[in-house]
Amino acid sequence: MTTTDHNTRPTTTPAPHTRFPESFLWGSATAAYQIEGAVREDGRTASIWDTFSHTPGKVLGGDTGDVAVDHYHRWRDDVRLMADLGLTAYRFSVAWPRVQPTGRGPAVQRGLDFYRALVDELLTHGITPMATLYHWDLPQELENAGGWPERDTAYRFAEYAGLVGEALGDRVERWVTLNEPWCSAFLGYGSGVHAPGRTDPAAALRAAHHLNLGHGLATSALRSVLPARAGIGISLNPSVVRPLTDSPADLDARRRIDALANRVFTGPLIDGAYPQDLISDTARVTDWSFVQDADLASIHHPLDFIGINYYTPAVVSGPRGDQDGDAARLDGHGASDHSPWPGSDDVVFHRAPGELTAMNWSVDPTGLTDLLLEYTAQAPGVPLYVTENGAAYEDTVDADGRVHDPDRIRYLHAHLSAVHEAVRRGADVRGYFLWSLLDNFEWAYGYSKRFGAVYVDYATQARIPKSSADWYARVARAGTLPALDD
């Protein structure tokens, strides 16, 4: 979304003891399949991630979310942990197959009771809940019927949203319909590195549209059951796409990836239309006849807020003879013989400059400032939340029983500085949700990558707050970002 050349990135140099707005929410975020476990308890049935993770070769080490970090049984302790860390907000996701096991019909009250109790405990501790309705765990029965490439899935999602909204609407005031629909569509149905593991570029584009439609229909369903004070938004993972050079080929590569990574969602959500260049770029893949006459009006609801998930920028070029970037699939989304970029699979991705996290993602906080300012310009008057930001590092327990992670502290300091810079320049950012509260099942990487502020010993389920958790707790309590060496 930004045309900033990756070789001339601005830097962020915060003043010591930078203060955030008084009402700023200091939170953390999780996803149901990554933490809950208990995949066969209280009526829950399989999601696409249950099926995918149990398919040999799909997840590193054969790991699954069957137990995860056992949050389904340890949620009271985890909420107390949040309170001890000074969090004022928590973004959790609702497991669709725990509430509506087949993706159709009435809700399972035992499933809803779990989330009712969780939210009540959060409120008891003064922690504001933010509920995400879809963080990738589509009921397997709906995938068997065609999944997100099928239009009916959008209607099923709206029905599910209404059930959850009716159950929790008296307790939860902030609602996220979808988390990172780009991943659901293009990693799930394009490159196949995420569940359900399909590799059909036309299906990926149909899925993207039906996710957009699902958001719109779910928004209508929620508004019919929620109090007027409730806010409804969506969490996107927009890509900061930077051209390798200013050559026409590289600038066009940037435009093409921007259309597929960003404008395929912001076009209908914010502008009420798909960009014409996206349709032209993908004409050899699909004719877009799956977009029906009233769809764009259904999608284009006013947004009460937009969630921004940010980790690293992308650097792209046009096709190159050496294909140095494409050989390693440096778009950062995992190795596959199939591209997640329909109609633009000849674009080459390059390693962005900067130090690397354990995910081999470049650290560049300026991208977060760029995104927040870009969305402020695109959707004036719509508040923003950073609904995910964080980093994986090679965390270990020291001889003293503690986990020291200075790299993560530096990462968080730099990115919170970037948020404050955006606020200083006019962005209406209402809160920051650290990804993640706990080490957990990291999708196709299994348990090999640790993003948590809290270390989890997977053998014993013991929780050990890392030094970054203690640091973040001090920042949250003070509402102030100290100098890094304080």
Q: Which residues are catalytic?
A: 180, 388
| CA–centroid distance for 68 within its chain | 19
Please state, in angstroms and rounded to a whole number, the distance separating the CA atoms of residues 214 and 201: 20
| CA–centroid distance for 17 within its chain | 29
Counting every residue written for the chain, the total comes to 486
Instruction: Yes or no: say if 51 and 139 are a contact pair by the CB < 8 Å rule.
Output: no
State the amino acid at position 479 in one-letter form: G
71-84 and 109-124 helices cross at what angle (nearest 10)?
10
| CA–centroid distance for 324 within its chain | 28
